[in-house]
Amino acid sequence: MNKKTAYLAALLLFLAAPFFAYPVFLMKLLCFALFACAFNLLIGFTGLLSFGHAAFFGSAGYVTGHLLAVVGLPTELGIVLGVAASSLLGLLIGMLAIRRQGIYFAMITLAVAQMVYFAALRAPFTHGEDGLQGVPRGRLAGLLDLSNDLVMYYVVLAIAVAGFALIVRTVHSPFGQVLKAIKENEPRAISLGYDVDRYKLLAFVLSAALAGLAGATKTVVLGFETLTDVHWTMSGLVVLMTLVGGLGTMAGPILGAFLIIALENKLGDFGTMLAEQLEIPWFASLGESVGMVTGLIFIVCVLLFRRGIVGEMGALLERGSRTAQAERT
């Protein structure tokens, strides 16, 4: 199965999904999948490890939520301005962070992201620890009633597909090839005459914009925005999603996001079901140990699946193809 066929099959599956599962949960999965893909564009294809991506995810959500709930702007305009805010923040942080490499780059992004967190905690329009509540979905272009979960799902799916398509196009463009060259050997890219800092800054801003798109969309879907989305743990969560799914792969972050978010939301129900079926009361408290379970999954992936789930599957298929070709030869 080639990539185009796989993408088409996945799209058909997502189109049918809301008739078999809870649409709001599926929309949350799509938002986090887009967030993970945006992060993967930066670390998987440019080699820049950011520990501050929650700043873009949450800031766009706060801006969009405030504009929709307080100012009363149309939904599409609120999302666009939220993405613009995350892009501007990405530009400011990127101009500061790309001057350093490796762990120093990561620490700068983490430090600035924590400043954004404390700003969100103290700013009056964010309502501090209470967060923004009652964010209306409104109507898209004055026509589509987004309060209908099914309509909202297909709008979110269109946003997620457009974001994913933009990432695919970017990676396979000449610009994307330069990003890969920077990741593999930055000194060589410099010696070939590329303005490496400019390319890294553009990649950082694009990643921030897509992360903001995911955060703004999530706020519209759920109707609220809290400090959780700008906390450093959210940055760690998206790192976990990307590593578990497969760093530097297209489908890996999507699978990783689905797995981690599904565990966070459904582990308690699964534990209750096991407790009832096996008559072991301990399983009923499994939902309270979600951090332990995700940590265990991370350890297993690091030890056994160094390329992530999708990366290892791809490597296995490639080895099988080479073996079959050698046998034919």
Residue-wise pLDDT for 191-228, tens only, equals 888 888 899 999 999 999 999 999 999 999 998 888 88
Per-residue pLDDT band at 286 (split at 50, 70, 90): low
Please count the structural domains in the chain. 1
Is residue 277, in this structure, part of any structural domain at all?
A: no
Q: What is the pLDDT of residue 1?
A: 56
| DSSP single-letter state for residue 101 | -
Question: How far is residue 79 from each of residues 64, 93, 140, 162, 166, measured CA to CA in Å?
Answer: 6, 21, 11, 14, 17
Is residue 274, in this structure, part of any structural domain at all?
A: no
pTM for this predicted structure:
0.89
Cβ distance 184 to 46 under 8 Å? no
pLDDT over 80 (residue 318): no
Is residue 18, in this structure, part of any structural domain at all?
A: yes
Is residue 291, in this structure, part of any structural domain at all?
A: no
Is residue 290, in this structure, part of any structural domain at all?
A: no
pLDDT over 80 (residue 281): no
Instruction: Give the least confident one: 10-14, 127-131, 234-238.
Output: 127-131
Distance between CA atoms of residues 80 and 93, nearest Å:
20
CA 260, chain centre distance (Å)? 11
pLDDT in tens, 201-210: 999 999 999 9
Q: What angle do CA 101, 102, 105 make, to 5 degrees?
A: 60
Output the six-digit token pair for 144.
């589509």
pLDDT over 80 (residue 32): yes
Structural domain for 33, as ranges: 3-263
Task: Give percent of the chain with pLDDT exceeding 90.
Answer: 34
Q: What is the CATH number of the domain that holds 258?
A: 1.10.3470
pLDDT in tens, 133-173: 888 888 887 778 888 889 899 999 999 999 999 999 999 99
Q: Which residues pair with residue 71 across a beta bridge?
A: none
When the pLDDT of each residue in the chain is averaged and rounded to a whole number, the result is: 84
Is residue 308, in this structure, part of any structural domain at all?
A: no
CA 254, chain centre distance (Å)? 8
pLDDT in tens, 52-103: 899 999 999 999 999 998 888 888 999 999 999 999 999 999 998 888 888 8
Q: For 299-328, what is the mean pLDDT?
A: 74
- Could you tell me whether strands 139-140 and 144-145 are parallel, antiparallel, or unpaired per DSSP bridges? antiparallel
Is residue 287, in this structure, part of any structural domain at all?
A: no
